[in-house]
Amino acid sequence: MKLAVIGVGYVGLVTGTCFAELGNDVICVDIDKDKINKLNKGIIPIFEPGLKELVDKNVKENRLKFANNNKEAIEHGDVIFICVGTPPKHDGETDLKYVESAAMEIAETMDSYKIIVHKSTVPVETGERVKELIQKNIKQGIEFDVVSNPEFLREGSAISDTMGPDRIVIGTDSKKAAEIMKKLYNPIKSPLIVTDIRSAELIKHASNAFLATKISFMNAVSRICELADADVEKVAEGMGYDKRIGRDFLNAGIGYGGFCFPKDVQAFIKIAEKYNYDYKLLKATHQINEDQKIFFVEKVKNAVKDLNGKNIGVLGLAFKPNTDDMRFAPSEDIIPKLQKEGAKIKAYDPEAMERAKSTLKIDYCNNPYEAAKDADCLLILTEWNEFKEMDLKKIKSTMKVPLIIDGRNIYNLEEMKKLGFEYLSIGRK
């Protein structure tokens, strides 16, 4: 099948590459000429395990192309995926200007039947807005259909999530479009849900909001555990055996980050407001997440006493492991707060340091041992496997004070005690 993907960000690049791998003829376009030039040179603008190899393979086999010319892609694709950015406005509402711009360009270019699929996370009724824009600007007599097909990929496991998702959601009021989309997804043996467009749009926001709520719930429980001298990991284990709850997303820490959860929680609150519903639960979810980062900074201040002039090593900057994504990363809140107290920060992250340099003015290290050298305290902000496998005896020998404050609970309490560390984590005893 001939496909076009408009927007070669995280979702667009992974989506286009995976569809090419399934045997489709895909053209990906983006207004960022530098990004397209790099892709045509084999340079991948994001870090995602396995993505470069898959891009290189499908480019070589002529199933995947990158271009700046939207017109070429629109004319090529029988199905056109809109995967452009949907950034938050200052009030948390979703900015749809890139989606609307893509819809306008599709309308002005297409000269035959197309299926226009919005894959970006968008507020309910966006499909109707896209349809309306195209209808107003399309040549008379040309038919088209609009589909909502939200993505559920996770950074760090995006390829496997795309090739074998928990579910595929297709929202459309067209039987013709539904059948074509079913055919497109036929090689992927995952549960497929066909529904109306509004329900499909809400599925994505509701899913992310629920997962964010689960994280904030456990972070609130971790606070109670510390006050009550209980262990949050034991609590989570006991909860997780309940099939109605499950063990996933019950890990306490410094809060969620990334582009999806923070943005989508705020966007869902604004969607609710549009329909005159005060979504108090989600407001609390957001506030607990913000409070958790402040709580962690207070934990550091209490442990170090006076941060002024102290050397603080930081391990992990990205919002999660296996990605270089710094968007809404907890480190971007925590580190400036420590610097405000006079702390000197040096940090190491396996993949995210180049991206971090644009926002965090700190010393960057070549490895975790450099970050730990002469440190009065070492902070764990991202749970990279590299940090779990470090030589902790070597880490201790390089530190000025053997104090580790772990925002991701990656080490065993007893082992850290045996090694002679003062080790503080989240909600554990």
Which of the residues are catalytic?
260
Q: Which two tokens stand for residue 105?
A: 């360009």
Q: Which two tokens stand for residue 40?
A: 């045509």
d(CA 38, CA 5): 17
Q: What single DSSP character describes residue 375?
A: -
Q: Is 241 exposed, middle or buried (0-12, 13-18, 19+ CB in 10 A)?
A: exposed
CB-based contacts of 422: which residues, under 8 Å, 6+ apart? 303, 401, 402, 403, 404
d(CA 318, CA 47): 11
**DSSP states of 387-411 as a string?**
HHTS-HHHHHHH-SS-EEEESS--S
User: Could you give the dihedral angle defined by the CA atoms of residues 220, 221, 223 and 225, in that order, rounded to the nearest 10 degrees?
Assistant: 180
CB-based contacts of 223: which residues, under 8 Å, 6+ apart? 295, 427
* The length of the chain, given as a count of residues: 429
Q: Hey, is 79 helix, strand or coil?
A: strand
Q: Hey, is 42 helix, strand or coil?
A: coil
Alpha helices in 112-157 (DSSP H): 126-137
Please report, for the chain, how many H helices and E strands are present, in that order. Answer: 18, 14
d(CA 59, CA 43): 12
Q: Which two tokens stand for residue 124?
A: 């309910």
Q: What single DSSP character describes residue 253?
A: S
At which residue do the structure tokens 């040179």 appear? 41
Cβ neighbours of 311 (radius 10 Å): 20
- Amino acid found at 386: E
d(CA 335, CA 337): 5
CB-based contacts of 368: which residues, under 8 Å, 6+ apart? 315, 348, 386, 387, 390, 395
Q: Are the C-beta atoms of residues 312 and 379 closer than 8 Å to each other? A: yes
